[in-house]
Amino acid sequence: MAAPRNARALARETLTREILDAARARLATDGPSALSLRAVARDVGMVSSAVYRYFPSRDALLTALLVECYDGLGAAVEDAEAAVARDDLEGRWLAACRALRSWCVARPGDFALLYGTPVPGYAAPRDTVEPATRVVRVLVRIAGDAWAAGRGPVPEPVGADDATVLVADARAYVAERGLVGPDAPTESVVRTLIAWTTLFGTVSFELFGHLERTVGDRASWFDAVALRVGADLGVVGRAADPGSGAP
């Protein structure tokens, strides 16, 4: 049983929450690069020196925001995917992809922090890696289940360079976490990374105005993209190839 929190601890939690909420609101209006502890302090009715007792620097505040936003996005995608039957690979894929877009479109300021222009002078520390990879871990898990069910990725393009070395770090990362089996093809990791970057790239184009006068129904367009990269990965609309040797 956790120790009861005293009034001081509760007050600190409350003020920390207010600071984070004010900072996220500033992300939507000012953008990540213009985030200022002084402006956030004004928004919560504190002097700037007091905010430093909660976040010793702008970078510390940015890191806390990154972790919180990555965790929020990851939880939304995980919950949506978990609500679909395990044998419904296409349903799981679409649920995860739609949750991804819905979360980002509803929070453009948070999206700009996570996937927009890097903040000059800021380097995210290692403790942001696990939250940052929650979404791609869901996508990898679905791709791994597709491979186990005999639905592998489309063949590697003729003449393409062997991508084994290129994705060695990514493959090691997902293998260490048991998201893919030892016999899963490297091409499955390659295609999942392609899908991940394509999905977030599509959301980025939508939120930053690059689809104006190009695409009408943005949600339907995103679904079309998700289905196509899912088919490329072998998760959507493809039965097992009898000659592939897949289990």
Residue 1 lies in a domain: no
Please tell me whether residues 133 and 218 are part of one structural domain: yes
> pLDDT-derived band of residue 1, with 50, 70 and 90 as boundaries?
low
Question: What phi, psi does 3 have (nearest 5°)?
Answer: -70, 140
* Residue 4 within any structural domain of the chain: no
Which CATH number covers residue 227? 1.10.357.10
Q: Tell me, yes or no, whether 241 lies in a domain.
A: no
pTM of the complete model:
0.86
pLDDT at 52 over 80: yes
Find the CATH number of the domain harbouring 49. Answer: 1.10.10.60
Q: Are residues 46 and 111 in the same domain?
A: no
Using the Cα atoms of residue 30, residue 34, residue 35 and residue 39 in order, give the sign of their dihedral. Answer: negative
Answer yes or no: do 49 and 170 share one domain: no
Does a structural domain hold residue 142? yes
- Structure confidence by residue, pLDDT tens digits, 202-241: 999 999 999 998 998 999 999 999 999 999 998 997 544 4
Q: Rg of the chain over CA atoms, in angstroms?
A: 21
pLDDT, tens digit, 9 for 90 and up, residues 156-178: 776 666 777 888 888 888 888 77
The count of domains in the chain is 2
Strands in the chain per DSSP E? none
Same domain, yes or no: 34 and 150: no
Q: What's the domain range around 36? A: 9-56
pLDDT confidence of residue 242? 38
Together in a domain, 109 and 29: no
State whether 100 and 23 are in the same domain: no
